[in-house]
Amino acid sequence: MTTDGWLRQLWLRPAGRVGVILLVVMSLTAAIGPAFLPDPLAQPDLAQGGLRPPDQIHLLGTDYHSRDVMARVVTGARVSLAVAFGAVLLSITLGGMVGLAAGYLGSWIDAALMRLVDAALAIPRLFLLLIMVASMERIPLWLLIVAIGATGWFGTSRLVRAEVRRLRAMDFVRSAEALGATRRRILARHLLPNVLGPLTVATTLAVGDVILLEAGLSFLGLGVQPPTPSWGGMIMENKSFLVTAPWTSLAPGLAIVIAVVAVNLIGESLHQDPAPPLS
Amino acid sequence: MIRWLAGRLLQTLATYALAVTLLFIMMRLTPGDPLAGLSDERPLPAEARELLRRRYRLDQPVLTQYADFLAGALRGDLGVSIAQHGRPVTALIRERLPATLLLGTTALAAMFGIGIAVGVLQATRAGSVTDRVLGILSLTAYATPSFWLGLVLTWALAIEWHWFPVAFMHAPLLDPDAGWWVRLTDLLWHLVLPVTTLTLVSFGAVARYQRAAMLEALGLGAIRTARTKGLRDRSILWHHAWRNSVGPMLALFGLWLPLVVAGSVFVESVYAWPGLGTLAAESIGSRDYPVIMGVAILVSAVVIGGNLLADLLHGWLDPRLRPSQ
Amino acid sequence: MTRPLLGLALWGSLLIPRAALGQASVLPGTLVIAVAREAISPVPTLWASDHPSQEVSDLLFLHLADLGPTLSTTDESSFVPRLARRWTRRDPQTLIFELDPRAQWQDGVPVTARDVVFALERARNPNLSPQLAALLGRIDRVTARDNHRVEIHYRLAYAEQLYDAVFHAPPLPAHLLTGVAPESLATAPFRSRPVGNGPYSITRWEPGKILELTANPAFFLGKPGIHRVVFLPSPDPETRVNLMLAGEVDAVENLYSLPNWHRVEALPAFHYYPVPGLGVVYSVFNQRDPADTSRPHPIFTDPVVRQALVQLLDREVLSRAAYGNLTEVPDAPVSAVLGRAITLPPHLAVDTSLSRRHLAASGWLDHDEDGVLDKNGRPLAFALMVPSVSASRMAMAATMQEAWRRAGVRVQVEPVEPPVYVERRNAGRFDLDLYSVIQDPTPSGLAQSWSCAGIGGSNAGYFCDPVVDTLLAQAGRSLTASHRLYQDAVRRLAEDVPAIFLAAPVNSVPVHRRFANVVLRPESFWAAVWQWRILPGAELERDRR
Nearest-by-Cβ selection for A205 from B18, B208, B304: B208
Nearest-by-Cβ selection for C402 from A41, A137, A237: A41
The answer to whether C140 and C153 are in contact (CB under 8 A) is: yes
Q: How far away is chain B from the Cα of C365, in angstroms, using its nearest Cα? A: 38
Instruction: Say yes or no for a CB contact (<8 Å) between C51 and B40.
Output: yes
Nearest-by-Cβ selection for C317 from A42, A46, A243: A46
The answer to whether C501 and C280 are in contact (CB under 8 A) is: yes
How would residue A277 be classed by pLDDT, with cut points 50, 70 and 90? very low
φ and ψ at A18, to 5 degrees?
Answer: -60, -45
* pLDDT for B231: 60
Q: How far away is chain C from the Cα of B34, in angstroms, using its nearest Cα? A: 6
- The domain locations on chain A are 78-255
The H or E element spanning position C465 is none
Q: What is the mean pLDDT of each run of 10 residues along chain C (545 residues)?
A: 37 40 59 94 76 93 93 90 94 95 94 95 84 87 95 93 93 92 83 93 93 94 94 92 92 80 86 93 96 94 95 92 87 91 84 95 92 94 92 90 93 90 92 93 87 87 94 88 90 94 93 95 93 91 83
The answer to whether A235 and A219 are in contact (CB under 8 A) is: no
Instruction: Say yes or no for a CB contact (<8 Å) between B167 and C131.
Output: no
Contacts of B23 in chain A (CB under 8 A): 122-123, 127
* pLDDT for A6: 67
Residue of C nearest to A236 (CA): C391
What pLDDT, in 10s, does the model give residues B219-250? 765 566 666 666 666 777 777 778 777 877 88
C354 shares contact with chain A (CB less than 8 Å): no
With a cut of 90, say whether residue A219 has pLDDT above it.
no
**CA–CA gap between residue C299 and residue C303 (Å, rounded):** 9
Distance of CA A28 to the CA centre of its chain: 18
C217 shares contact with chain B (CB less than 8 Å): no
Average confidence score pLDDT of chain B? 87
Residue of B nearest to A204 (CA): B139
Full DSSP string of B147-203: HHHHHHHIIIIIIIS-SS-SS-SS-TTS-TTS-HHHHHHHHHHHHHHHHHHHHHHHH
Residue of A nearest to C420 (CA): A134
* Burial (CB count <10 Å: 0-12, 13-18, 19+), residue B268: buried
A244 shares contact with chain C (CB less than 8 Å): yes
C458 shares contact with chain B (CB less than 8 Å): yes
Question: Taking the CA of residue C189 as centre, how many other CA atoms within 13 Å lie in the half-sphere pointing to its CB?
Answer: 3
* pLDDT for C27: 61
* pLDDT for A4: 57
Nearest-by-Cβ selection for A240 from C257, C317, C420: C257
Residue of A nearest to C392 (CA): A237
φ and ψ at A151, to 5 degrees?
Answer: -105, 10
B176 shares contact with chain C (CB less than 8 Å): yes
Q: List the helix and strand counts (H, then E) for chain B.
A: 15, 0
How would residue A195 be classed by pLDDT, with cut points 50, 70 and 90? confident
A119 shares contact with chain B (CB less than 8 Å): yes
Contacts of C389 in chain A (CB under 8 A): 219-220
Q: Smallest Cα–Cα separation from A226: which of A92, A41, A30, A32?
A: A41
Instruction: Say yes or no for a CB contact (<8 Å) between A226 and C237.
Output: no
- Provide the sign of the torsion angle of the four alpha carbons A98, A103, A109, A114, taken in this order: positive
The answer to whether A271 and A92 are in contact (CB under 8 A) is: no
- Which of residues C394 and A269 earns the better pLDDT score? C394
- Lowest-pLDDT choice from A41-45, A202-206, B115-119: A41-45
Q: Smallest Cα–Cα separation from C260: which of C50, C528, C9, C510?
A: C510
Strand partners, C499: C284
* pLDDT for B323: 52
Q: Smallest Cα–Cα separation from A154: which of A130, A131, A123, A132?
A: A123
Measured in residues, chain A has a length of 279
Chains that touch C (3 or more CB pairs under 8 A): A, B
User: Which superfamily, per CATH, for A78-255?
Assistant: MetI-like (1.10.3720.10)
What is the greatest pairwise CA distance in chain B? 83
Instruction: Say yes or no for a CB contact (<8 Å) between A261 and B300.
Output: no
The answer to whether C401 and A226 are in contact (CB under 8 A) is: yes
Give percent above pLDDT 70 in chain A: 93
pTM of the model: 0.90
The answer to whether A204 and A116 are in contact (CB under 8 A) is: no
* Burial (CB count <10 Å: 0-12, 13-18, 19+), residue C301: middle
Residue of A nearest to B204 (CA): A205
Nearest-by-Cβ selection for A158 from B16, B221, B307: B307
Q: How far away is chain B from the Cα of A143, in angstroms, using its nearest Cα? A: 17
Full DSSP string of C308-340: HHHHTS-HHHHHHHHH-TT-B--SSS--TTGGG
What pLDDT, in 10s, does the model give residues C230-275? 999 998 888 999 999 999 999 998 887 777 777 888 899 999 999 9
How would residue A141 be classed by pLDDT, with cut points 50, 70 and 90? confident
What pLDDT, in 10s, does the model give residues C19-68? 444 444 446 899 999 999 999 888 886 666 788 999 999 999 999 999 99
The answer to whether B142 and B205 are in contact (CB under 8 A) is: yes
**CA–CA distances in Å: residue C192 to residues A117, C25, C118, C202, C224:** 43, 30, 21, 8, 22
Contacts of B158 in chain A (CB under 8 A): none
Contacts of C260 in chain A (CB under 8 A): 240
* pLDDT for C358: 95
In chain B the domains, ranked by start, together with CATH numbers, are 102-282 (1.10.3720.10)
**CA–CA gap between residue C33 and residue B15 (Å, rounded):** 46
Q: How far away is chain C from the Cα of B156, in angstroms, using its nearest Cα? A: 11
Instruction: Say yes or no for a CB contact (<8 Å) between B26 and A123.
Output: yes
**CA–CA gap between residue A165 and residue A191 (Å, rounded):** 10
φ and ψ at C529, to 5 degrees?
Answer: -55, -35
How would residue A272 be classed by pLDDT, with cut points 50, 70 and 90? low
- Provide the sign of the torsion angle of the four alpha carbons C135, C139, C143, C146, taken in this order: negative
> What is the per-residue burial (b if ≥16 Cβ within 10 Å, else e) of C385-408?
bbbbbbbbbbbbbbbbbbbbbebb
**Ranges in chain B, pLDDT < 70:** 220-233, 318-325
**CA–CA gap between residue B65 and residue B67 (Å, rounded):** 5
Chains that touch A (3 or more CB pairs under 8 A): B, C
**CA–CA gap between residue A144 and residue B31 (Å, rounded):** 18
Chains that touch B (3 or more CB pairs under 8 A): A, C
